[in-house]
Chain A
Amino acid sequence: MHLPMTEITKNTAEGTDRRGFLTSATTLAMTVGLLASYGSCFAIGGRYLYPAHPGRRAWQYVADVARMSKGDQVVYRAPSGESIVVARQGVAGNIEDFIALSDTCPHLGCKVHWEDTKNRFFCPCHNGTFDAKGKGTGGPPGDASQELFAYDLKIEGNMLFINAPMERLI
């Protein structure tokens, strides 16, 4: 006994539609699953590769305020290996008297030194000069309007602290 033609046609069309839908649905589910799972793995991997503590800093003791007079300077060595010039330039007795500048020239990384007689920082590599506040005044740093990097300072209990980079080289 045979089913009427119209019923056969109807069943075949429905069957094809259902199979097609299931195939598409499972393919979509598989694709989404793969993207979600491997995507999560790559996201975790990316997070892992990014430094855990980028630019970690902490307040470190520099000197007793009372022991630094105007014109005095201390070369502070941060745990990261950077050397920072901490100078007293005023007598007001507050944080405005002090300045902390990196001794690394922003031009190409050479070390600058303070020339007291000329009241400036000088870089021997390309004759770069900086004023007492670290602003470039001559040579390549002056042309490029560069500055010596300044670090934050604070006074607590008559002690001077610097916000120093903590990432060690070794």
Chain B
Amino acid sequence: MGFSSWIQERLPISGDSLKELTNEPVPNHLKHWWFCIGGTPAYLFIVQIITGIMLAMYYKAAPETAYESVAYITNEANYGWFIRSMHKWSGTLMIAAMVLHQMRVFFTGAYRKPRELNWIVGMLLLIVTLLTGFTGYSLVFEQLSYWGATVGANISDNVPVIGSFLKNMLLAGDTYNANTLSRFFVLHAAVFPVSIILLLVAHLSMVRVQGVTEYKFKGEENDEKTHFNFFPDHLLTELGIGLFLMVLISSLAVALPAEMGAVANPLATPEVIKPEWFFYVAFRWLKLFTGSTAVITQGLVIAVMMAWPFIDGAVRRRRPNSEFSVWVGVLAVLAIIGLTVWEAAVAH
């Protein structure tokens, strides 16, 4: 009896139906590399899980030991500096790739009916990933970690009605205390990654069930074959991108390794304090408006982003072929870039 027959007697799944299920016909436009940015954050997420598990082997989540354990990883553990730097750069690139992917989906109108739900799932993925990044850099327990967590919790305190409740849930108390760090660690290492996995399964299932939005570019309208096989063609493209990403992350880890700032000092806020780059836009927005106004307007912006497929649908029902969404998108991107660069360029 061959091995495959032995397996099939116990798991009645035929190789042919499995091939049929997974060998999705991929539209030709995915040969353009910018349509493959969706797989990039998924690949980087796997890198994050592997490097994160390795870091967790030495990390100790308590205020007395966190900084020292990160110092041990960075300075003493074999290749600890490399694993930590890979984790940092992979996180940065993951968020950047998600934003680029979202922009591609937006500007190609791929969020439109019947894909509105998938857009919302994608937005949730972005939000959870940003929260994962926030809780992640809070774990080092350097000055940025401590004051970033304090400021973040005080921002949530400004949410109307439930603000105080949110702050207490985040910090395990009214202020940063002995239980805050372990709470952030569980969120960062367990709750958020599991949420990302579940959302990713929903995201990819919907893509598989609905199919990829199809485009034809100039010069390709008369192509006879409009699709190509996932196995091995698209998979090889994704593997090639994966290899490129590993080279990129490794190079960044060596050229610009993760460093350690001063240990957290609850008695002294640094003169210049900034969050990680992906929160610069929100940080600058907070400096332009007062507490509750800033928080409420940011919440409204996120709500509008979530609901955009329906807003766009309503506008296009009245004015078919309207380019309204493109112009709103361009303005939004310019605003985000502008606020981010502004925050990066100045100390205060």
Q: What's the Cα separation between A64 and B343 when bound, in Å?
A: 64
- Chain A residues, Cβ within 8 Å of B243: 33-34, 37
Number of residues in A with C-beta < 8 Å to the partner? 14
Q: What's the Cα separation between A52 and B236 when bound, in Å?
A: 37
**Segment at the B interface, from A8-16, A39-47, A110-118:** A39-47
- Chain B residues, Cβ within 8 Å of A53: 76
Indicate if the CB atoms of A47 and B79 lie closer than 8 Å.
Answer: yes
Assess whether B54 is interfacial by the CB under 8 Å rule. Answer: yes
Chain A min CB distance to B242 (Å): 9
Q: Which of A33, A38, A47, A53 has the most CB of B within 10 A?
A: A47
Assess whether B82 is interfacial by the CB under 8 Å rule. Answer: yes
Q: What's the Cα separation between A38 and B245 when bound, in Å?
A: 12
Indicate if the CB atoms of B54 and A49 lie closer than 8 Å.
Answer: yes
- Chain B residues, Cβ within 8 Å of A44: 79, 82-83
Indicate if the CB atoms of B77 and A52 lie closer than 8 Å.
Answer: yes
Assess whether B246 is interfacial by the CB under 8 Å rule. Answer: yes
- Chain B residues, Cβ within 8 Å of A45: 50, 54, 79, 83
Give residues of chain B (310-334) contacting chain A, Cβ–Cβ below 8 Å: none
Which residue on chain A has the smallest CB distance to residue B55? A48
Which residue on chain A has the smallest CB distance to residue B236? A30
Assess whether B267 is interfacial by the CB under 8 Å rule. Answer: no
Assess whether B346 is interfacial by the CB under 8 Å rule. Answer: no
Indicate if the CB atoms of A34 and B79 lie closer than 8 Å.
Answer: no
Indicate if the CB atoms of B246 and A41 lie closer than 8 Å.
Answer: yes
Indicate if the CB atoms of B76 and A37 lie closer than 8 Å.
Answer: no
Interface string of A21-57 (1 = CB under 8 A from B): 0000000001001100110010011011110110000
Indicate if the CB atoms of B80 and A48 lie closer than 8 Å.
Answer: yes
Q: Which of A37, A47, A50, A52 has the most CB of B within 10 A?
A: A52
Q: Which of B79, B236, B239, B247 contacts A48 (CB 8 A)?
A: B79
Give residues of chain B (46-103) contacting chain A, Cβ–Cβ below 8 Å: 50, 54, 57, 76-80, 82-83
Indicate if the CB atoms of B76 and A48 lie closer than 8 Å.
Answer: no
Indicate if the CB atoms of B246 and A48 lie closer than 8 Å.
Answer: no
- Chain B residues, Cβ within 8 Å of A49: 54, 57
Chain B min CB distance to A81 (Å): 16
- Chain B residues, Cβ within 8 Å of A41: 246
Indicate if the CB atoms of A50 and B246 lie closer than 8 Å.
Answer: no
Chain A min CB distance to B53 (Å): 10
Give residues of chain A (43-88) contacting chain B, Cβ–Cβ below 8 Å: 44-45, 47-50, 52-53
Q: Which of A34, A38, A48, A52 contacts B83 (CB 8 A)?
A: A48
Indicate if the CB atoms of B54 and A37 lie closer than 8 Å.
Answer: no
Chain B min CB distance to A126 (Å): 35
- Chain A residues, Cβ within 8 Å of B54: 45, 48-49
- Chain B residues, Cβ within 8 Å of A30: 236, 239
Indicate if the CB atoms of A47 and B246 lie closer than 8 Å.
Answer: no
Chain A min CB distance to B84 (Å): 10
Chain B min CB distance to A169 (Å): 12
Indicate if the CB atoms of B239 and A50 lie closer than 8 Å.
Answer: no
Chain A min CB distance to B3 (Å): 23
Q: What's the Cα separation between A12 and B76 when bound, in Å?
A: 61
Q: What's the Cα separation between A37 and B78 when bound, in Å?
A: 19
Q: What's the Cα separation between A53 and B50 when bound, in Å?
A: 23
- Chain A residues, Cβ within 8 Å of B79: 44-45, 47-48
Q: Which of B76, B239, B247 contacts A52 (CB 8 A)?
A: B76
Chain A min CB distance to B239 (Å): 7
- Chain B residues, Cβ within 8 Å of A33: 243
Q: Which of A30, A44, A50 has the most CB of B within 10 A?
A: A44
Chain A min CB distance to B82 (Å): 6
Q: What's the Cα separation between A30 and B235 when bound, in Å?
A: 13
- Chain A residues, Cβ within 8 Å of B83: 44-45, 48
Q: What's the Cα separation between A49 and B77 when bound, in Å?
A: 8
User: What are 30 A-to-B residue pairs whose CB atoms are below 8 Å?
Assistant: A30-B236, A30-B239, A34-B239, A34-B243, A37-B243, A37-B246, A37-B247, A38-B246, A41-B246, A44-B79, A44-B82, A45-B50, A45-B54, A45-B79, A47-B78, A48-B54, A48-B77, A48-B78, A48-B79, A48-B80, A48-B82, A48-B83, A49-B54, A49-B57, A50-B78, A52-B76, A52-B77, A52-B78, A52-B80, A53-B76
**Which 5 residue pairs are nearest across A and B when measured between Cβ atoms?**
A47-B78, A48-B79, A44-B79, A52-B76, A52-B77
Apart from A49-B54, A49-B57: 6 A-B pairs, beta carbons within 8 A: A37-B243, A37-B246, A44-B83, A45-B83, A48-B54, A50-B78
